[in-house]
Structure 1
Amino acid sequence: MASKLLPPFDDDEIETELQFHHTWEIEDWDSLPDKLYSPAFDGGDYSWKIFLFPRGNKFNSVSVYLACAPKGQDPANPDKDGPHWTCCAQFGIVMWNPDEPSVWKENKAHHRFEAEESDWGFSQFYELRNLYNKSPTSDHAMIENNKVNISIYVKIVKDVTGVLWHNFRNYNSKKETGFSGIRNQGATCYMNSLLQSLYFTTAFRHAVMGIPTEDEPDKVPAALQRLFFQLSTSSDGVDTRKLTKSFGWDSGDAFTQHDVQELNRVLMDNLEGKMKGTSVEGMLNKIFVGQMKSYIKCVNVDFESSRIEDYWDIQLNVKGMKNLEDSFKDYVQVETLDGENQYQATGFGLQDAKKGVVFTSFPPVLHLQLKRYDFDFIREQMVKINDRYEFPTEIDLAPYLDESIVPEESCEYALHGVLVHCGDLNIGHYYALIKPKKDGHWYKFDDELVTKATMKEVLEDNFGGDLLASDLAKSRVSNISPSYKRHTSAYMLVYIRKSRLDEILFDDKVPQHIMDRVKAEIEEEENARREREEQHLYMSMKISSIEQFKKLNYFDIAIWKQDPGLEDQSPEAHAVVYKAKKSLTAAEFIDQIAKSINYPYPERLRLWRVGERDNKTKRPGDPVDTSSNLPLEQIFAKNLKVRAEINLYLDIADVDPTTGEVISWYDNDLELGPRLLLFIKVFNPTTQSVHGFMTWVGRANQKVKSLIPDVLKALGWDPDTKIRLLEEVKPNFIEETDIEETFDQARIGDGDIMCIEKVEPDLSSLPVGGYKTATDYYNFLFKRLHIVFRRRVDHDGFNDENDNSPTPDVDVWLSASDEYDHVSAVVGEKLNVDPTHLQFFVTNPNGTVKNVIKRKTIVSHMISSLHGVSPHIILYDVLPMSLKEYETKQLVRFIYLTDGISQEHRHEVLLPQTAKVQDLLPYFESKIKLSPEDLSKLHFWVSSNHLFSQEVPLNTPVSEVVKHDTLYAQVLSSEEQEWLENNTDLSEGIVIKVYQFHKDPTSTHGVPFQFLLKPGEPFRETKMRLQKKLGMFDKLFERIKFAIVDVQHYDERQGSPYVEDEDEVLYDQFASDPELMLGLDHMNRTPRRVHTERAIFIKD
């Protein structure tokens, strides 16, 4: 019975400490109470009792449970306040007839017994109605003579990980393992697993900690430093929102699962850039980058073509492979190029050759990406490959190293990380198993949860392949549902070179300056959190003063809101946000302001309400009454009620020179009229600015000219300087003021802005294009636009022969009414190029060219939109000639094909508009370096929508060529050249059109081309020549299906016939119908990402 109830575990690391059984003999069943415990019995270091509900526990069944407690405690009432204890046990309960043992009922379970869950069992063990009925297999009932026995079989097991059958309700990862987990933002488990792997690669962590981040606290390195510091110190799961914010991600990205390999590469690219010019430059390459050699080596002649490339990881095939060793053998497998697939060796012609890849070096930390996803051509969709695939704890990679290289150190690697995906293609979960120390334990990092792991969890559980139900029953991992468990497999492995373990894994402390910075950030965030919680007690106000007015070079007295087009204004010109308790009085609030600005005389401070006038300007209106004891909440009740912003101006009141008391703003002097507060600006043509410099207090009945002496004195100008006074009424209304009128007559009141300028200014230092008068400059401010001129980048992938990159952006402010020639002059001066050689382009929202900007265009017509965007982007090109001459030329773009048609080289050439295709030949000779023989075999054709349109003779005008989508050029073989140009005898062969599509013959992609069909040639031989023309590897070519398509008369209901017979002769069918094309049905290997997909990215 024990072997039936206590089956062995499939994990060798689960060790049995003790196995025992006990029987409780019940002599008088009917007299039992509704619930009772058996007498205690010992087993190991624990005391046990059977907990019985003879008449059921909420169900019409006998309920039986097993209760446990440490020896010395009552299992029915264990001490919950004492030392923590656990007992992991597999157990079975058997209820049986003592007089007829063949009548019995059993059930089994396993449980982690502890004070909070000291009993476990079965609420519906045996139906009450069957207790006294004959069993189906016997003439006897369970209870006869009022007697029954209950036996307990128990196997106590050693909890090697500390989490066997844990419910994790009161589990603390840091306390139990010493490590912290990472919180999942929604779908960031894939990122969490990678981050934990990188964190425990100590050499990487050390390099990241060495990046200077003082000047870029919001960039990726600073956020990563913070995360690593928190992982080393936090007692709870660490939040990654600061990091993903530095990536530039929004909530949508946090709920989108991406590819770990893609994330790792963009992260490494970002960090590499940040490390340049620092003490840790190049460190990532030293840790993660190895090199491999791609080669083609001739068999019969001494010729080899090879290329050495860096790699950050190795992508290994899983499909069809049994283990890691098979994948490496597959990776370096040599392909033979012979027969129709011979290699064209320079100087030797067609040769038999060997083609392959071999490793020239392996990095200290090797990331292996297991290709668990592949395209299923039967289902025509991506699927997860969950085949069983084994990987070892140690591997020697020396067999895969280039034979010509003698390694300086051992190529033995030790497994230290397994990144796992459980689920299928569309839904699932990611976690990591990591060995943080050289000789330590393995741990499982599942978002916030960190647990010690067994080797079975590291290896066997992640080899993939479906588990049997019996395996699931024996699995010690009970918190993963069977449907996920069956689809759990490793997708990334981290191996560390054994000889470099001490260099990669070491004890590393967080630098003190990073600790101090992060602690300060966390404290600041905690203060902000408290502020948010108390926000309802406070109110916010924006306050400006003379300091903001002096820093402003724009309209009004301060920047109240950061609108587009104000990015050039000094931060000190922005009104300051103050928070104050709503219960404060105005006087108390002024005391608070005085302390914040270190002003010793709070009684002299005066606050003015700043309101929006009918003309949309903001001006101070009247002082706030500080004499009352009303709270701020009542003083600004109207603003708070409609949630309108509260804007104030802080002024310093005048003091009576005799009494020293603050002069009241309000008095009863009817002759002089009420006081008024004016703001004075000055126009400086040399600096091109209208800065504020003072306020002036006068009386309404004074003449305007009364302010002039004070203003001239404040400016340090001669008292006899001829000046002009303007009033800044609103941005598009600046008018000269009659200084002989009174302020009242001139309708000048509190908060109005006056601007002073010299009538005869010194213009010797006037900047190029500068404005001479305040009126003109104000007009510029009203119409100005912030524009960044950026060098055009061709998103079609064509190179620009005239490209003199790198070239900087040109950041300028221009008037919307500036003309093209003025713009060219400004940009040309900044770039130090001839302005007549500049061409400008209107941009699309994605930064690509929308259309060319014509001359005679003003700035407002050069940008896509006037509203809501600043700066505006205009693209430019520096032409090799004047724009006027350029407009007489024709830009010709073409794709030059090599290695069959597999390699596309994009070019563009500027030719006269009267040129012909033959005028491209000098370019092929000088730039592409074609020999005279190859030039004679150069063939041109054009396509539209990836379909072959027509051949292009050399005498074709380029003006005709550019009307098509694409111009192709290729050096033909001698055979192709002869057939295309000379042969007209169809009995010797025909030239057909070939194109590529995926699923639907109208879903075209790739390069279309012409191909020679030979009479009598079986399809298997035709395919060999097609493969050579395509320049495809065997594995890719095998996936192509071949269709005979009449594109002009295609009917999707009927479809197109596929060529299935290897012996079929295509020549016969194509010779009788010249409208037919041969379609190659296969997936586009370089598809454009559709607009609904979100590519993973990390902003710079």
Structure 2
Amino acid sequence: MRDIGFLKVADLRIFTWRVRNRNELYSQKRSPEFECGGQRWYALNPTVSAKSPRLIAIDPHISSGQWHSNAQFSLGMSNIYDPTVFTVQHAHHRFTKQASDYEFQRFIAPGKLFTIREGQTRPIIEDGSVDVSAVIRVVEDSKGVVWSRLVTYDSKKETGYVGLINQGATGYMNCVLQSIFFIRSLRRAIYQIPTEGAVPTDSIALALQRLLYNLQTSNGPVATTELTASLGWKTRDVYMQGDAHAFNRLLQDNLESFMKGTSVDGTIEKIYVGRAKSRIKCTDVDYESVMVEGFDDIELNVGGMKNLRDSFKDYVAVEILDGYSTPQFGLQEAKSGLIFESFPPVLRIRLKRFAFQRGADGFELVPTTGRYEYPTEIDLSEFLDEAADRSTPWLYKLHGVTVHSGDLKGGYYFTYIKPDRKEGWFKFYNDNVTRVTEEEVLGNCGGESIGTPSGSTDHSITPGLVKTSTKALLLAYIRDSAIDEVLAPLRDEHIPRHLRMHTDDETTESTPDEKKNLVEEQSYLDVKVVTDSEFSRHGRFDLATIDDKNYPPSDLPTFRVLKTERYAAFKKRVAERLRHSETKFRLWVMVIRQNKTLRPDLCISENEWSIFVVNRPNLDLTSDKQPELCLYLDLISDDPTEQDLARESRLLLLKFFDPASQTLNGVGKVYVLQSDKVSALVSAINKKMGWRAGSPLLLYEEIKPGMVEPIKQDRTITQCELHDGDIICYQPADFEQEMWRHGRYSSAIQYYDFLYRQVIVTFRPKDNAGTTAEFKLALIKDETYDEMAAKVGERLEADPSKLRFWTTYAGDGALKSVVRKELNESVDELIGSGPSSFLILYQRLETSAS
């Protein structure tokens, strides 16, 4: 099993039993009971009839009715004569009264148990028998939150602090805001920025003040929508992966601007700015260049370094310059170095976790590897200039650690903060705040890549068991002599009266009905289910239309779900409404990818006890401000010859482009193994369509609107980089060779390009006079004004030259400007490149428009 990082093992047990006959192989037999970590366990062995193995913790019948046991475990099958012939899967789970068992959904395909795999000399099952083994490692849980789903968890009650709601992909922003909140001297100064009379959505300063005040006074997680609105962000912006350091820079620059000329002018510099002296001295001539500059953070190299002190030594190390240009002496050899004159009260350190490395295609950005340590305190006096004031020690205490878990393509942020001298450490991950140990803060984020156990379907955010590397990116240290001032508690008089009154009034003025509605809104979420029926009717990009202002949303079955509703109960409701057997379908969480497509991403394990938590490792779509979740309903085939969900399988969605009818429709899904050649996918499609085996097909991957690429059929699924939820479009190969009359498309790529360039524009009478109602037209973005006017004229049975058009503003549809006929602009130019308005106003004229 994999390393569990900072977590401590309480007990370890290995237990093996033998399945000896055909009946036991084809029915899920219960193993003998065994004990580990003070808990009794048993397993249901895997079967060759596709039933997956399960590990079950026996209810200890504690009087309180509640119990939990955190275990990392493996279940495997091995040949009775040669244990090196085996298959195994790993997972971890918090076993509770409500979730006392764990089922592996992606175990080995049953047929492979009897076949000899490459590199082996025996099958796993031989002579009708197989050994089944369970390895269990129970871990300690001193804070009571290890691998907890935190569904009913009350951060304020448990820690005294509250979190921030994730609007989509704003975890990086939440980390920065929590860090600002706990630098109390900065928070005090922010409160003093004059904002009376401002509107929160138009004033960054007021929005930030209100957010900090709510963090200080609220009993539940705080929204950030006012702040993002004041920054001018739109919906798409909150779903884009961001960088914590870049956002902190954006906010800091704004704060410095707001503070200029006020009583708190210079606060940022006082808290965060130190001074460093860089010196370049020529070795052979009498020339020296000295420059003293301020700095508000330091970026340190991590690659090749063991710890923070090594990184500081590297930062101030003398470098030999060969060919340094001087004013008087030309190019000279010189020594370059840097020394600090002072460090600020709050020292922010950026750890350089990525570096450029030469590859086959030139330089590429790659992550640094290896363990890296940062201490809870560090004496920085050795890095100071000899003339620096040493009357007060330059001892710094660790205050905050901002962490990124993932890779260059994406991931999530959380932060650890130690609020003051006396309190311990807390973890802030969006809306949840939990107490953590110092061992976790120091031991979980050193940068080692720890993979999720193969086959695990429990993707909860878990220290030490995450899928990609978990690395500290930003460190905050406070000078020991400045801690009491920087972290001094705020008093009521520090908070502006207008801020207290306005925010408190919003709370007290709520009527009982409003409070009831708010509680209900925060307790429920809407769950939309994408079915193959809807997929087959959907003729555009993705599986359905969810949030596209240019097209009406797909009519999807929608369920109002209490966030604490058991997953089994929810699935039963889905089965009853859509008329499917509960055992004949699975549900997949759909997430918005970085390229803005919506795809199935995570198959919900039958172990999930609440629908609310199933998508937490991805975008937090279940936040109070984004109360919607999309699921894909995956019907389980009755055909035993079809590949089904398995350990190394991939779920691919299929679309058929028919050149004859010029249509594009969904055709359900197919499972393929990662090791399969694409030809296996072709065979599965021919079978699904009822076409002759071996019929040649052209395959394309629908990556995103505007990007559809051919798939090379001599490669494997892995080589083609196909993943769960990818969409494969296909068409008969022979159609590509035929010639089609004007306006028809012979290949899927041409048709996709047509869809990408198509736009639905609403035309409305400018003065709303007459009886003509507004109407919609499908236009192509590169069509000209003349072409657009001709189509509108045809629809209105009017002379196109006697029509005048006006563009409108996005959102409210207000009149913007008249369209100048002589420019003959394209439709794309008319609707705008920014926030687009798909509404154009028109007016009939008696004479030709000029």
* Structure with greater Cα Rg: 1
TM-score normalised by the chain length of structure 1: 0.39
Q: Which has the higher contact order (CA 8 A, sep 6+)?
A: 2
TM-score normalised by the chain length of structure 2: 0.49
